[in-house]
Structure 1
Amino acid sequence: MPSPVDILRTVFGYHAFRGQQAAIIDQVSGGGDALVIMPTGGGKSLCYQVPSLVRPGVGVVVSPLIALMDDQVAALRELGVAAAALHSGLPPAETAQAERALAAGRLDLVYMAPERLLGERTLDLLAGTQVALIAIDEAHCVSQWGHDFRPEYLGLGLLAERFPGVPRVALTATADDATRRDIAQRLALHDAPLFGAGFDRPNIRYHVAHGERLRERLLAFLDTHHGTDSGIVYCPTRRRVEETAAWLGGHGRTALVYHAGLPAEQRSASQRRFLREDGVVMVATVAFGMGIDKPDVRFVAHLGLPKNVESYYQETGRAGRDGLPANAWLGYGLADVVGVRQLLAATDSPDERRRVEQRKFEALLGLVETTGCRRQALLGYFGEQLAQPCGNCDNCLDPPVTFDATQAARLALSCIYRTGQRFGVSYLIEVLRGGNEPRIGALEHDRLALYGQGRERTAAQWRAIYRQLVTGGYVSVDVDGHGGLRLTERARPLLRGEQTLHLRESAPDKPRRVRRGGSAAVADADQTLFEALRAERRRLAESHGVPAYVIFHDATLAQMAAQRPRTLVEMAGINGVGGAKLERYGQAFLAVIDAVA
């Protein structure tokens, strides 16, 4: 029986396990169950793939999406591993071939959706073969407290009865304490040890932009840092997705569209192109992303707000799965805050669930409005303490300027009160700045003592103040009407002069487009060789009919570009170059290095 380290080196081309991988693999290889909480990009797949190759029999992997199954099977086959998937998207002939291989014991791993696995025909088929282990990926889908509950996962507890003695491992990237307990209970993993690898993704740099001209600011950010990189831009509505994709396309970006309102064929085509090509930007609603195994996503951007920190963490976690530097950029304004609150208020969820969702959204607002280290705030939400500021978020790298906003906030709050607590931000700013909006004269608001007292601040600065008063809980928004602002109890001590307030200063924004032209994954000195290696990888991927990253990850190409191996022996020392890939592709990439270096 080969050792886990032997499998890691000869099959996967890596030379050492990371973090808790070795402990998890030892537990499962030895026949024990496990519950694994590991951040995206932490190497969860190896935690069941390696034991499946160590133990006799076939490893059965439960996965929620066809795209994820197909990608992982393609990647394993490139490594020389006998893998197959069984799902509804396969032609009958391929399904029959996979089932024959499974029954004959010729497979190392087989991937299935939960509903396929729990069918009596599949259970009978597995009962007649030797099962090495059962891995339940995206295990948070079993929890009704999770943010991505899937009812079909509920039946997976049956596996403990049908396959006694077969080790089972449940894996997820996001699960709070309540969700972890739910996973253990519903999957009958009562005695399984918990392996928690932490939530920190140190290679991701977090940025938040507040206010206006967000598309222009996003484009400037991408042109500066991600000239040739692939990434995802999330938008809250289908209309905004389509408008943003068209706008980015008009500015030289290859931008695709993905949302639930598109025909299935178009969604599939966009997803395939995103997975297989370099430099593609997927503009999408949150309908896109779960199970996307593309490791070289260099940025994830949000034009608008997610509903909670869990969603934000999972969505941004799709960047930098290969461990190389990546960026998470989020831009929003007051309208986005109001939009999410309206959405939460309109749900028909039970009151308890609605209160939980509202608290989660308030926690997200705290994260995006903080003037401290964003990583400390993010990890703190999940119960982890980061002793020192991370040095790799916008607030650490460029500390925000704050000012004593006590008087300005009192004026803003007084304007809400004096105008009857029924107007939106634009009208209130017109009153404060002494504008000529027709309603002001008609309602005699130009006779208020505060009319025109805010002329020294721009409209953008007042919008920033109102946004922070809303997110800070001093002001509520009428989510059932036309967005009118109302004072909350928290505003009372501020208006009475019993409290002071410091807010983030709204700096003038002048987006600049600076074309970088390269990839954030490698040093400038290695860009030419890296791009040549990517071109060869793209050629090979097209000829094999697989996504480019299945040939080699960006991290592997970046190491080649930096170390410039000249022989197959030296190439074998590059992480991600296992025996099968060395034999299949080694000479082709050595030729590129010889030609360019």
Structure 2
Amino acid sequence: MDSLVDAQTEPPLAVLRRVFGYDAFRGEQREIIEHVVAGGDALVLMPTGGGKSLCYQIPALVRPGVAVVVSPLIALMQDQVDALTAVGARAGFLNSTQDLTERRRVEAAFVAGELDLLYLAPEALGSRSTVNLLDRGTIGLFAIDEAHCVAQWGHDFRPDYLALSMLHERWPDVPRIALTATATTATAAEIATRLDLTAARHFVASFDRPNIQYRIVPKREPRKQLLDLLRTEHPGDAGIVYCLSRASVDKTAEFLVRNGITALPYHAGLDAATRAANQQRFLREDGLVMVATIAFGMGIDKPDVRFVAHLDLPKSVEGYYQETGRAGRDGLPSTAWLAYGLQDVVQQRKMIESSDGDLARRRVLAAHLDAMLALCETVDCRRVRLLRYFGQDGSPCGNCDTCLTPPESWDGTVPAQKLLSTVLRLQRERNQKFGAGQCIDILLGRHTDKVKQYDHDSLTVFGIGGELSESEWRGVVRQLLAQGLLAVEGDYGTLVLTPASAEVLSRSRTVSMRREPERPASSSRAAKARSAGTPAVELPAGAEPLFERLRAWRAATAKEQGVPAYVVFHDATLRQIAADPPATLAELSRVNGVGENKLAKYGEQILATLAE
């Protein structure tokens, strides 16, 4: 097969139009691509759905030689290659899933210069045979995808990424582009140092994802709250639900299935074949919900994930942003929903105290958690808080829960003093430590068996907290933990004072707290679409049946070819076709996402579907 591009005659913009079917670059894509095509090194920070892949795919088609793409995602390489093959690019991969015959075929194509892109796992570059193979071919560039995996204290650390600095040492004249969707300024500096990209040009796009609505709700009965979200806002939608433990994943998936939601589990406790089968179903079927630990999701290229829900508190803002970023890659309105409660804070604090590593390591983990708690407890715009974490400015978005239904802040100093006094008196007067439940029972004056057993109804703080309900007191405990005015210790999560507690008890420090709104944020799809400022095509009245007919054609075509539906066409492309149906191939060729190869392959079928 001949190359798609004549490097001497076709500029990147023409390749974008002819191969991928888009008329213009977005954001900094043009500048990044021209820099890499010219032979420069680049470190690219760009949000999920921002078009990172084109930043190395177009240089791969324009520069002479083969682009070697380092990707940690063996299970997804086939889909990545299928998507490139669908637009006419010559792509292949080498990994442990292939038999010897297939490996030799791909290796021969690489050496002969018959590939545009070759995907490898980072582990492969530690193999002498792989390095020798690369020496036999002509390498046009190296692309290091998911580059945050090199950050040693990051949420997706992969030790094999640490060895990738050898690329520059062995092939010093080959340009390199490292890409990630998740990096603070400090993480970006670490990536540059560890990958020997300190002299590379840095490109930092906005981390804002305006089509995603961020919502964090008090955790009551999280599975029932999740079910209500899916039934009222996302019926029939594809989505991801994240849980902290494998047991919670299994129970949540079973709960959803019992309630009529098509859901599958994914975690490291399942055998490899089951994980692979569940992942393939999620990518290939419409409207399926994946319930997973954070082992699932990195590199998932499914564009129509309409929601990402967390039933447990993420450990860091980076992890939260990375996981929620898997929603709405197609630019259409999507939801990032998190249920968060007192037990989440207690559990995360305990995990940090019992974690491996030295004091410095635990401090890093605690700082990550503190930033995540600040995002949960803020009374300001969540999007502004997120952007500020990544070193960027923003104005209130009007499309997160704190913008749609602003919470109040209130002076919680007196309740804080009462709670801290209870912890203090238990420890000093009785030499005892208890968890939040017992402290709240004491404040509410409850004569429970445990209160009577330990004679806690004789404490002077017994019954002094009647002005707040139990749920409100749990909110006080949660926010004191979040602000570092209270701590947990031991396997049972007992409450203890911190050095900062004395400032509150001595009345030298006031405590501001967040009061949850009585009404949940408005989240109708129409409201989200208006607020998000998304470029998605609005379907005119009467066009919905045509859109669904196109989706049915796409599903049948994808099933016949054994590829995910989005490899054929994205929803956004089908919406544009349904909104303004083309009558000829020439008109169809002007639709975003319809490149030369897809026009030739599917054009007549699309027109026939429209004519039905």
TM-score bracket, shorter-length normalisation: over 0.9
* Change in 2 beyond 3 A, CA 1:227/1:391: same
- Per the alignment, residue 560 of structure 2 pairs with 543
**Equivalent residue letter for 1:571:** L
Match of 2:425 among 418, 423, 429: 418
- Per the alignment, residue 64 of structure 1 pairs with 72
**Equivalent residue letter for 1:305:** L
Match of 2:597 among 558, 571, 580: 580
Match of 2:459 among 443, 448, 457: 448
Contact 1:400/1:505 (<8 A) preserved: yes
- Per the alignment, residue 485 of structure 1 pairs with 495
* Change in 2 beyond 3 A, CA 1:510/1:13: closer
- Per the alignment, residue 559 of structure 1 pairs with 576
> Structure 2 matches for 1:22-41, cutoff 5 A?
22-41=30-49
- Per the alignment, residue 468 of structure 1 pairs with 479
| Cα separation, 2, equivalents of 1:33 and 1:499 | 51
Contact 1:307/1:360 (<8 A) preserved: yes
- Per the alignment, residue 291 of structure 1 pairs with 299
* Change in 2 beyond 3 A, CA 1:262/1:594: same
Deviations 1:117-149 (A, max 9, x none): 443323332223222111111122223243322
| Cα separation, 1, equivalents of 2:327 and 2:71 | 20
Match of 1:502 among 504, 508, 512: 512
| Alpha-carbon shift at residue 403 of structure 1 (Å) | 3.1
Moved more, 243-252 or 529-538: 529-538
- Per the alignment, residue 436 of structure 1 pairs with 447
- Per the alignment, residue 218 of structure 1 pairs with 226
| Alpha-carbon shift at residue 243 of structure 1 (Å) | 0.7
Moved more, 180-189 or 578-587: 180-189
| Alpha-carbon shift at residue 591 of structure 1 (Å) | 3.5
* Change in 2 beyond 3 A, CA 1:175/1:101: same
Tell me if 1:266 matches 2:277. Answer: no
| Alpha-carbon shift at residue 536 of structure 1 (Å) | 1.5
How many residue pairs match? The answer is 592
| Cα separation, 2, equivalents of 1:178 and 1:435 | 49
Moved more, 268-277 or 318-327: 318-327
- Per the alignment, residue 380 of structure 2 pairs with 372
SS in 1 for 2:338: strand
| Cα separation, 1, equivalents of 2:436 and 2:198 | 53
| Cα separation, 2, equivalents of 1:113 and 1:305 | 30
Tell me if 1:3 matches 2:11. Answer: yes
Match of 1:76 among 84, 106, 111: 84
Tell me if 1:279 matches 2:290. Answer: no
Contact 1:409/1:465 (<8 A) preserved: yes
SS in 2 for 1:419: helix
- Per the alignment, residue 401 of structure 2 pairs with 394
| Alpha-carbon shift at residue 522 of structure 1 (Å) | 7.2
Deviations 1:297-317 (A, max 9, x none): 111111111111111111111
| Cα separation, 1, equivalents of 2:283 and 2:207 | 25
| Alpha-carbon shift at residue 417 of structure 1 (Å) | 2.5
**Equivalent residue letter for 2:392:** E
Contact 1:219/1:513 (<8 A) preserved: no
* Change in 2 beyond 3 A, CA 1:138/1:163: same
SS in 1 for 2:487: strand
SS in 1 for 2:306: strand
Moved more, 179-188 or 278-287: 179-188
| Alpha-carbon shift at residue 332 of structure 1 (Å) | 1.6
| Cα separation, 1, equivalents of 2:509 and 2:523 | 42
SS in 1 for 2:52: coil
SS in 1 for 2:351: helix
- Per the alignment, residue 349 of structure 1 pairs with 357
Moved more, 547-556 or 115-124: 115-124
Contact 2:240/2:289 (<8 A) preserved: yes
SS in 2 for 1:320: coil
**Equivalent residue letter for 1:406:** T
**Equivalent residue letter for 1:369:** E
SS in 2 for 1:329: strand
SS in 2 for 1:206: strand
* Change in 2 beyond 3 A, CA 1:593/1:431: farther
| Cα separation, 2, equivalents of 1:208 and 1:425 | 22
Contact 2:111/2:138 (<8 A) preserved: no
Deviations 1:501-540 (A, max 9, x none): 3322245689999999xx9987574543333322221111
| Alpha-carbon shift at residue 497 of structure 1 (Å) | 3.2
**Equivalent residue letter for 2:436:** V
* Change in 2 beyond 3 A, CA 1:174/1:507: closer
Structure 1: 5+ residue stretches without partners: none
Structure 2: 5+ residue stretches without partners: 1-7
**Equivalent residue letter for 1:487:** L
Alpha-carbon RMSD: 2.4
* Change in 2 beyond 3 A, CA 1:269/1:5: same
**Equivalent residue letter for 2:41:** D
| Alpha-carbon shift at residue 440 of structure 1 (Å) | 1.4
Contact 2:185/2:391 (<8 A) preserved: no
Contact 2:283/2:564 (<8 A) preserved: yes
Contact 1:223/1:515 (<8 A) preserved: no
- Per the alignment, residue 130 of structure 2 pairs with 122
Give the TM-score normalised by structure 1.
0.94
Instruction: Calculate percent identity across the aligned residue pairs.
Output: 53
| Cα separation, 2, equivalents of 1:229 and 1:289 | 17
Tell me if 1:227 matches 2:264. Answer: no
* Change in 2 beyond 3 A, CA 1:391/1:456: same
| Alpha-carbon shift at residue 447 of structure 1 (Å) | 2.7
| Cα separation, 2, equivalents of 1:210 and 1:184 | 39
| Cα separation, 1, equivalents of 2:368 and 2:522 | 34
| Alpha-carbon shift at residue 564 of structure 1 (Å) | 3.0
Deviations 1:558-587 (A, max 9, x none): 222333333322222221111111121223
Give the TM-score normalised by structure 2.
0.92
| Alpha-carbon shift at residue 25 of structure 1 (Å) | 0.5
**Equivalent residue letter for 2:488:** V
| Cα separation, 2, equivalents of 1:230 and 1:522 | 20
| Cα separation, 1, equivalents of 2:477 and 2:371 | 18
SS in 2 for 1:111: strand
| Cα separation, 1, equivalents of 2:28 and 2:603 | 31
* Change in 2 beyond 3 A, CA 1:239/1:104: same
Deviations 1:47-101 (A, max 9, x none): 1110111112211111111123211100011111111111111122221211121
- Per the alignment, residue 590 of structure 1 pairs with 607
| Alpha-carbon shift at residue 155 of structure 1 (Å) | 2.2
* Change in 2 beyond 3 A, CA 1:183/1:251: same
* Change in 2 beyond 3 A, CA 1:566/1:280: same
> Structure 2 matches for 1:80-95, cutoff 5 A?
80-95=88-103
* Change in 2 beyond 3 A, CA 1:25/1:219: same
Moved more, 280-289 or 85-94: 85-94
| Cα separation, 2, equivalents of 1:487 and 1:116 | 50
| Cα separation, 2, equivalents of 1:573 and 1:230 | 29
SS in 1 for 2:215: strand
| Alpha-carbon shift at residue 232 of structure 1 (Å) | 0.7
**Equivalent residue letter for 1:68:** L
| Alpha-carbon shift at residue 11 of structure 1 (Å) | 0.4
